[in-house]
């Protein structure tokens, strides 16, 4: 293998695949990137056995085809450290890769290409296109509610439910639930339900661009989920389990509704959280007509109190919450006012945008 490439052209795909490279790998080969050259095409592949990510680049001149694996982090660090206008020359020399740029020279150890694991050939039953912005917006509204190392492994990810031209994303860790949906004509023939693992969701959040309206191709199969863009091919294994009926977690026939300024509520909670218990993060909310009082305290007998205006006409209610959960929800709601609904102090509280939106959130109260 032999090629010449501009630093900027190599740096972009290297940064794309870097999030998948295992830092504490069980297999040495997982710390490597598979570099494949074919004529004027370069592809870089990284995997952690659950996710495979391929970044591509076009070479300005035809190269000597071939494949090699080399330490991904070292290659990325070298590329970052070189001058912006640097030109890099790669040559495979036995079990080493020689990298030359100007007066710099690096010799990197390689591992056999046949040891590099690749996701087996997969077939997909559902395929459609969607803009990067729409997909990231959908995942961005629910990703924070996924479980983390929960023994109920199906909670450590997000449910993607596609039916009747609607794509729904749901995440819950048992203490809170996030739901978001969107309609798109490209989904009218699609019908499937899969659970995407937590790491895959977070990796997609890193790769996708909210400001990019270019379409990506989304492929869904029995075992795999794939996103194809002009810059990368992302493939992930799926979680095989039955996701709980999330509709049962959404409060119905709620009796009390309160409306507050989203920004005022967010800032008040953020200030009160400073003196909340560092372990349990609990805050008390006292809801009365036209007023919300937020109280936080900690074992050092310190206390914070915040008062904000509230549009509420029901009876006085006292509820305790994990303040981090409330801040996550309020940050995800994109409207000037937040509407929250509840039946009593012991049941789940439904949070929504006061203006029309296709997202909703449920937070369970806690003892404070």
Residue 172, SS3? strand
Residue 313 lies in a domain: yes
Instruction: Indicate if 130 and 243 belong to the same structural domain.
Output: yes
Instruction: Indicate if 71 and 29 belong to the same structural domain.
Output: yes
Structural tokens at position 283:
């805050």
Distance from C-alpha of 280 to C-alpha of 321, rounded to nearest angstrom? 9
Which pLDDT value is given to residue 255? Answer: 86
Which pLDDT value is given to residue 207? Answer: 96
CATH of the domain at 348: 3.10.150.10
Over 114-167, what HEC string results? HHCCCCCCCCCCEEEEEEHHHHHHHHHCCHHHCCCCCCCHHHCEEEEEEECCEE
Which pLDDT value is given to residue 252? Answer: 85
Residue 121 lies in a domain: no
Structural domain containing residue 260: 250-363
How many structural domains does the chain have? 3
Instruction: Indicate if 48 and 31 belong to the same structural domain.
Output: yes
Do the bridges between strand 224-228 and strand 215-220 make them parallel or antiparallel, or are there none, so unpaired? antiparallel
Distance from C-alpha of 23 to C-alpha of 318, rounded to nearest angstrom? 46
Instruction: Indicate if 254 and 291 belong to the same structural domain.
Output: yes
Which pLDDT value is given to residue 60? Answer: 85
Residue 368 lies in a domain: no
Instruction: Indicate if 355 and 279 belong to the same structural domain.
Output: yes
Q: Are 2 and 88 in contact (CB under 8 A)?
A: no
Which pLDDT value is given to residue 327? Answer: 97
Residue 201 lies in a domain: yes
Instruction: Indicate if 292 and 226 belong to the same structural domain.
Output: no
Last residue of a domain, one of 59, 85, 115: 115
Residue 167 lies in a domain: yes
Residues 77-122: tens digit of each pLDDT: 999 999 999 999 999 998 999 999 999 999 999 999 999 998 878 8
Instruction: Indicate if 240 and 293 belong to the same structural domain.
Output: no
Instruction: Indicate if 90 and 189 belong to the same structural domain.
Output: no
Nearest to 57 by CA among 40, 74, 45, 80: 40
> If 0-12 CB within 10 Å is exposed, 13-18 middle and 19+ buried, where does residue 276 land?
buried
Q: Where do the DSSP E strands lie in 135-278?
A: 157-163, 166-172, 176-183, 192-197, 215-220, 224-228, 232-237, 256-261
Beta-carbon contacts of 115 under 8 Å, excluding residues fewer than 6 positions away, are 29, 69
Which pLDDT value is given to residue 272? Answer: 97
Residues 2-45: tens digit of each pLDDT: 999 999 999 999 999 999 997 777 889 999 999 999 988 999 99
Q: State which residues of the chain have pLDDT below 70.
A: none
Which pLDDT value is given to residue 120? Answer: 72
Instruction: Indicate if 268 and 227 belong to the same structural domain.
Output: no
What are the φ/ψ torsions at residue 321 (nearest 5 degrees)?
-145, 155
Last residue of a domain, one of 115, 134, 156: 115
Residue 322 lies in a domain: yes
Strand partners, 278: none
Last residue of a domain, one of 80, 115, 150: 115
């Amino acid at each position: 293998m032999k090629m010449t490439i501009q630093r900027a052209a190599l740096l972009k795909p290297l940064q794309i695949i870097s999030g998948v490279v295992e830092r504490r790998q069980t297999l040495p080969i997982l710390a490597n990137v598979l570099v494949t050259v074919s004529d004027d095409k370069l592809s870089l592949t990284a995997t952690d056995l659950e996710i495979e990510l391929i970044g591509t680049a076009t070479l300005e001149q035809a190269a000597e085809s071939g494949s090699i694996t080399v330490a991904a982090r070292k290659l990325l660090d070298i590329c970052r450290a070189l001058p912006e206008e640097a030109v890099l020359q790669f040559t495979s020399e036995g079990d080493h890769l020689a990298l030359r740029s100007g007066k710099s020279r690096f010799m990197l150890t390689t591992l056999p290409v046949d040891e590099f694991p690749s996701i087996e050939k997969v077939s997909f039953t559902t395929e459609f296109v969607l803009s990067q912005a729409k997909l990231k917006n959908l995942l961005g509204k629910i990703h924070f509610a996924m479980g983390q190392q929960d023994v109920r492994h199906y909670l450590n990810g997000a449910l993607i439910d596609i039916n009747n031209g609607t794509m729904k994303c749901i995440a819950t860790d048992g203490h809170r639930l996030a739901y978001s949906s969107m309609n798109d004509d490209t989904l009218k023939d699609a019908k499937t339900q899969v659970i995407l693992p937590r790491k895959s969701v977070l990796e997609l959040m890193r790769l996708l661009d909210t400001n990019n309206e270019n379409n990506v191709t989304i492929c869904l199969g029995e075992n795999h989920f794939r996103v194809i863009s002009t810059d990368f091919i992302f493939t992930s294994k799926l979680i095989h389990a039955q996701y709980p009926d999330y509709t049962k977690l959404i409060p119905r026939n709620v009796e009390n509704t309160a409306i507050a300024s989203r920004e005022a509520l967010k800032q008040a909670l953020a200030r009160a959280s400073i003196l909340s218990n560092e372990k349990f993060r609990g805050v008390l909310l006292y809801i009365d007509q036209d007023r919300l009082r937020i109280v936080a305290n900690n074992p050092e007998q310190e206390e914070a109190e915040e008062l904000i205006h509230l549009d509420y006409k029901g009876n006085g209610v006292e509820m305790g919450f994990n303040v981090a959960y409330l801040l996550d929800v309020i940050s995800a709601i994109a409207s000037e006012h937040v509407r929250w609904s509840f039946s009593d102090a012991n049941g789940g509280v439904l949070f929504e945008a006061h203006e029309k939106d296709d997202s909703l959130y449920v937070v369970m109260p806690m003892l404070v």
